Structure 1
């Protein structure tokens, strides 16, 4: 049944790709010189057909293997780049088609219903060359953005600083800083020098506390091996703490036996130790400064539509209501469903998971990402009744091997009293 469903999916995908290629070809036709029309037509469909079959085969392999490899990522990169470019072109062509249809309808009805009407039918306007030229010119913008995002943008690490004020923050922690990384997805990286630069940038923030909020790997614990030295250099006076994300359990990979999967999970926990991270599994720790303290809690992955192993109540054992609390929880949907209305006020939750879909637009006045249709809080800071959430955009990438407009993030949060 699963195989049949996969074949049906591939057939639907190929049908969609054919439709996109066919619609774009309507614009291509207007731009082809008459002398080269036949050769241009053949070239277009050979390329479009070949690429579509490659993409379809890649998706079939992904469905069969149950995971996305670095080889599959290249095909996904091509698919997304072409699809977004084509959709941009189609917006212009579709708009023109509406205009052409309306013009033909007006011409038809304005011609009346005279006996000569059948002999002089309304003419459907030809597609205009300048509209196709405009469509392809504008489509060059997302195409260029995707090429940059695939080649450079995924390593364009940005440091984002946020200051958050709390009335009940202990005095000793006024000005306390936290560096947060999330979603390293070690199995996706191919440029180790770029990863090293990103890790050094995180280490150079010299924050009081360092936290990592899940998804260390894509599938297997040994994916982080080449990067252990780079990330273990990140140290903080008040410690380095981590939690698990949905990818860290090995659920998206095939295993020869349940024992092999369990062994991989135990190995992953050992990797956190090698990195110098205190892995919090529904636990809490006291962070003490100048005789005052705050509580740092960490839960296993809990997410809507994903595995919900995390036990918030267990992480709160021994924590007094009046204590200042910081929670590490990988998926921001946990904050929406359980945390922000919890009777024990949890002052700050740090999450990741969404990656901002690795694609979007962020300006001081406007921001958009497909992630917003899945997650109410997909990046940055949110607040509800004095409870704050910060969603990190992720250090690494997965599936789509690039970033467009949503850059890899190193977060530095400063706690202030006020």
Structure 2
């Protein structure tokens, strides 16, 4: 994880301290060498910490405490200094252009830095513990009569490794909330683990407790494969077999490019599940032809696919899915005044989308590799299906 972006992080750490050292410690405060050395010691420590994490061969360390502590230090000390530096440099440039002496960028940067610290502290304490139950009434064409009012609970991106230690109660709360909705069907759209199936062991009973009259259906996400660990092929293959076996052990019906028919009397709907269909570097293992084989052209299809980018690329062109459920983006885990960083990478990154009578819902998910959320709370989605009457079409 850190290895993918350690150079920008190192530049942020070093350049911020270098700017403050040159412009303030030496020029304004006239601090001596040993006092400035004290200033640089935390920077040197963060550089070492960053290099150490970047050298970890797995996506994140097996003990997530190392990454959590690192991000706390980054959020409280490094990012606010970087914000101050950016504002100060901009203010300095304005001063030189306008021939003014007062650099208002310093004051703005100071208060923005304080604001970032407060936002970060909220994100890793209260923000990560929030759960939203979102309810959607969806009016769709061709819904069979017997499925009027059909209720689906959609959840995704559990990343159960995040819930170790003092956060274990959060996963229990989330599962209790799923069962409390009394839905007809529960759909899970991938990323059950962070890196390996052993993360599931403390939560086997909790995950097995999810129940619904028409079943619990799931698909694999990018983290459910073995690309995030450095191991030989045999271990990776064993891990992938285990994550599949564990989900079936929970009583979930894991769909690997296949479908099931859910019946109500003479009517039916089809739940299709495809393996992860991601853009590089994420796995691309979906087989829509196989998954849709035997599904009638007039069937009402609900598609489970972890990656929402597949909706435009493959789901709409290759299938007759009326409703697609996805996760993967976590809604960026940060949303400020509606701005989410994932909007740069995904056309459909969070919420409900419609195209030619077909719908996609992308959920913010439950967990994440990193326990951090601001303005993008963990969520469960309760979707109630309704028949689109002719009067509503006009």
Per the normalisation by structure 2, the TM-score is 0.88
Which residue number corresponds to residue 392 of structure 2? none
Q: 1:84 to 1:360 in 2, by over 3 A?
A: farther
Distance 1:37 1:276 in 2: 67
CA contact 2:187–2:218 (8 Å) conserved in 1? yes
Pair 1:252-2:228 in alignment: yes
Which residue number corresponds to residue 107 of structure 1? none
Q: CA deviation at 1:9?
A: 7.4
Q: 1:314 to 1:80 in 2, by over 3 A?
A: farther
Which residue number corresponds to residue 203 of structure 1? 179
Q: CA deviation at 1:345?
A: 2.3
Which residue number corresponds to residue 132 of structure 1? 106
Which residue number corresponds to residue 10 of structure 2? 14
Q: CA deviation at 1:330?
A: 0.5
Q: 1:171 to 1:23 in 2, by over 3 A?
A: farther
Distance 1:158 1:192 in 2: 18
CA contact 2:157–2:192 (8 Å) conserved in 1? yes
Task: Specify the SS of the correspondent of 1:367.
Answer: coil
User: CA-to-partner distance for each residue in 1:344-376, whole Å, 9 max, x for gaps?
Assistant: 421010001111221222xxxx51111111111
Distance 2:233 2:30 in 1: 64
Which residue number corresponds to residue 146 of structure 1? 120
Pair 1:186-2:157 in alignment: no
**Gaps in structure 2 of 5+ consecutive residues:** 389-394
Q: CA deviation at 1:20?
A: 2.5
Distance 1:174 1:322 in 2: 17
Distance 2:110 2:23 in 1: 9
Distance 1:126 1:28 in 2: 15
Which residue number corresponds to residue 258 of structure 2? 283
1:383 aligned residue (354, 367, 370): 354
**Gaps in structure 1 of 5+ consecutive residues:** 1-5, 105-124
Q: CA deviation at 1:236?
A: 0.9
Could you list the runs of 4 or more consecutive aligned residues of structure 1 that deviate by over 6 angstroms after TM superposition? 35-40
Pair 1:368-2:339 in alignment: yes
CA contact 1:77–1:401 (8 Å) conserved in 2? no
Q: 1:278 to 1:27 in 2, by over 3 A?
A: farther
Which residue number corresponds to residue 403 of structure 1? 373
Q: CA deviation at 1:26?
A: 6.8
Which residue number corresponds to residue 114 of structure 1? none
Aligned residues: 381
Task: Specify the SS of the correspondent of 1:308.
Answer: coil
Q: 1:396 to 1:41 in 2, by over 3 A?
A: same
Task: Specify the SS of the correspondent of 2:321.
Answer: coil
Distance 2:134 2:61 in 1: 29
Pair 1:339-2:315 in alignment: yes
Q: CA deviation at 1:341?
A: 2.9
Distance 2:339 2:379 in 1: 17
Q: CA deviation at 1:167?
A: 2.1
Task: Specify the SS of the correspondent of 1:340.
Answer: helix
Pair 1:86-2:81 in alignment: yes
Q: CA deviation at 1:211?
A: 0.8
CA contact 1:348–1:387 (8 Å) conserved in 2? yes
Distance 1:9 1:408 in 2: 25
User: CA-to-partner distance for each residue in 1:155-194, whole Å, 9 max, x for gaps?
Assistant: 2111111221112111111111111111111122222112
- CA-based RMSD of the aligned residues comes to 2.6
2:301 aligned residue (320, 325, 329): 325
Distance 2:352 2:78 in 1: 31
Asked which structure has the greater CA Rg, the reply is 1
Distance 2:347 2:20 in 1: 34
Q: 1:314 to 1:250 in 2, by over 3 A?
A: same
